[in-house]
Amino acid sequence: MAVNYLLQFGTGDPRTFTGLSPSFLIFKDKDGNNVTPPGITEIPSGTGLYYFAWGTTTNIAFLADAVTTSPGSAGRYIAGMLDMSDRISEFGTSLQSGQNNLGSTIVSIGNTGIAIGTSTYALEQAIASTLTAIGSSFGAVASAIGTTASLIGDNATDPSTLFGYLKRLAELEQGQEQFVKSTGALTMFDRTGATTLATRTISNTASLVIKS
C-alpha cells in the first residue's frame, strides 16, 4: 500500500506557486541505485500543494525540482528521504490481518478436531455395539453347543445342548439295560445304572421281534 507525501515549493503562501510541473532529479535507494520515480501532482489544482504516492520497501533519497525559477533558486528544489518505517501502519494492518487469519485457522483446526473426535467416538460406539452383538451371538451359539458338563436328561427330559445329546447317545450305547422276560419290558440306563434313559416293550410274533 502506497503512502502519500506532500511537497511545497518556495516559501510563504503555496498558492503563489500553483500550476507547476515538478519532477524528480534524484530518486535513489540506500545503495545508490536509481529507482523509477512516481509522478508529482498538484492537489487540488490552485493550491500550490503537490503530492506523490510511494510504497517504499527500502529507504529512498530524492531531490524534487519545480522545473521553474518562479519559487526562487532556494525554493525550487526540495530534498528528502523516504523511510520504510513510513509504512508502519500498513505493517500493523498486515500483522492484524495475519493474526485474524491465524486465529480463524486455529478455530477452524479446533472445530475440525472436535468433529474428528465426535466421528471417532461415534465409530468407537458403533464398533462396541457390533462387538457386543457378536459377543451375544457367540454366547447364544456357545450356550446351544454346551460343554462336557452338559446334562443328558432322563426318560422324561431331553438334553438342552448338543453336548448333552452326544453324551446321551454314548450313555445309551454303553449303558446298562434290564429286560423282564415275563412282560417284555426293556429299561435302558446310563453307565452307572442310576438314571433311566428310556423304556421300551419287546414283543414276539410269528415272524417278528418288535421293540415298541
Binned at pLDDT 50, 70 and 90, residue 143 comes out as confident
The SS3 of residue 50 is: strand
Q: CA–CA separation, 80 vs 48, rounded Å?
A: 19
pLDDT at 146 (0 to 100): 92
| pLDDT reading at 109 higher than 70 | no
Average pLDDT, the chain: 86
What's at 171, amino acid-wise? Answer: E
| pLDDT reading at 114 higher than 90 | no
The model carries a pTM of: 0.43
Q: Which of 19, 61, 60 is nearest to 40 (CA)?
A: 19
Binned at pLDDT 50, 70 and 90, residue 134 comes out as confident
Query: What are the sequence ranges of the domains in the chain?
Result: 3-82, 87-145, 162-211
pLDDT at 124 (0 to 100): 78
Binned at pLDDT 50, 70 and 90, residue 128 comes out as confident
**CA 18 to chain CA mean position, Å:** 64
| pLDDT reading at 104 higher than 90 | no
Mean pLDDT value of segment 79-84: 91
* Burial (0-12, 13-18, 19+ Cβ within 10 Å), 131: exposed
> Could you report the per-residue pLDDT of 4-33, keeping only the tens digit for each?
999 999 999 999 999 999 999 999 999 999
Of the two residues 123 and 156, the one the predictor is more confident about is 156
pLDDT at 10 (0 to 100): 92
Binned at pLDDT 50, 70 and 90, residue 2 comes out as confident
